[in-house]
Structure 1
């Protein structure tokens, strides 16, 4: 059989590459038809703000997963970072201290995960799941079994900068949205325009080949966990600022949403690979879908069920695409 017979029409390949994006568009249009309020500019603006925390968490996870790693502790890290930052504010330590605490918690968790998985060779799923349980226990202890930290009822001079960050705008843009955009731009630049980004690609291609090319594989892999933890800490602080409240467990729904965003973004990508910008698209779609379900009067079971189905569908499409390229 000739190569001409085996080849597929380029138009068919292009349609297959963008089938996930087309599917997203169909879902959005269907919800808009059922509930016109869904595409109201004010609702879309609210969705954009709601997506910021998920975008920050998913971007960190995408960098790690592009090296075939994963982190099951990002939600627990965000919870603990946001809670300790809120408590520092209420105790009068000031906004800079609260920000440093949130970032410090994230980096510390990332370093521990990086050492365990990157240098000691502990499977990432085991290391991060174990640390997830430890962080959950710590959050319950420091919060006295879930006592919330309420910023919106505190003296305004203690919490004003954080509440302003969570609710105010700079011109037409919410500050949270601008912060999320900064994270995306920096992560995109770091992964596509730097030596570190090139090392990530080499590790993704194969650890052995990367070592032969002189890439510090363990350090590069560990740095993915550090970035993931750092952005989890930032995400926890953003969630606390947005809601004006810190409660252990409030970030847990973002774990499944972040994985869904990464897998959907990879499936939607023409190259079928995980990347920062396509992960952002996945995160925005997940947030749109959650908002649409609320407008349709469907609760949490539908959201979890659809997210799980989307992950399975993304994995299945990824397998089919790889088979089709062989």
Structure 2
């Protein structure tokens, strides 16, 4: 297991998004000052409003900006976490150019900030770089099976380009970089209508609607609770290892099983209804987490039923507040 180091001041791009907001929260809890950058294209200020109320401006700053424009952050920074990007299929299908720009120009600017500050840089990549994989489970040395001109290509290739740019800055400019490949993650602060399976199923179940499962539901996913994921990301950031490193839950479930578990967790009478499967939807998805376990000492700890209950409670609260 690699030794860990702490950070005094971090910049989180996309810090008002689902994952970014949880990262900001955990960094602050560990005593790190945080500058949160977000354009609010898919994230929202409500995700970090409690942090602005809880911490003084010297500890937490929320700055509305677009990382595809030039960004200047005054003062010292020793960690840059680049999480700005549409991440759900609905978002990147509606925002294809913005997705490509933040993966290319946004990554360039975030790397430039890290280079300027002499900071550690961590790129939020994705299991989507493996595409519809022909190797299962997916290890980090698998190059993937991606359709660059399919509907998901804008996201997949933006992240693959971001990995190449991050590697180039490491080899050319000696920037201290890391790449984390994030597998399916769930938890509080997901948007009910973001198109991903778990929030969609929970929203439908709480409303008493049919649960719409794509295809026959036998395609598999490995879902990781957000608290576990954040631990893994920060373990990689603190390790000095360049990655890429898979962070996700190696336990595999069918999408149909996820839907049935959501129905049970919500106490809903909703029925599962099968709908047409999206183009290039992966048949299998499960990380080989050997590197994360051996290098970082990381494994997911939150059981699926416990994480699902917390997520259902969050969505129930949204419905009651509406």
Q: Please state which band the TM-score falls in when normalised by the shorter chain.
A: under 0.3
TM-score using structure 1 length: 0.28
Q: Of Structure 1 and Structure 2, which has the larger fraction of its residues in strand?
A: 2
RCO higher in structure (CA 8 A, sep ≥6)? 1
Q: Of Structure 1 and Structure 2, which has the larger fraction of its residues in helix?
A: 1
TM-score using structure 2 length: 0.28
